[in-house]
Amino acid sequence: MSWRLLGIGVLLAAVLSTAVAVVFSTHQSRKHFTELQTLKNVEEDLNIDWGRLQLEQSTLGAHGRIEKLARERLQMRFPVPGSIVMVQQ
* Degrees, nearest 5: CA angle 23-29-24: 25
Higher pLDDT, 28 or 73: 28
CA distance linking residue 22 with residue 19, whole number of Å: 5
In a domain, 19, yes or no: no
Contact 56, 62 (CB under 8 A): no
The CA-atom distances, in angstroms, between 53 and each of 7, 56, 67, 69 are 68, 5, 21, 20
Higher pLDDT, 24 or 72: 24
Digit-coded pLDDT (tens) for 12-32:
999 999 999 999 999 999 999
Domain that holds residue 28: 24-72
In a domain, 42, yes or no: yes
Contact 82, 76 (CB under 8 A): no
Digit-coded pLDDT (tens) for 33-65:
999 999 999 999 999 999 999 999 988 888 888
With bands split at pLDDT 50, 70 and 90, how would you rate the model's confidence at 86? confident
Number of domains observed in the structure of the chain: 1
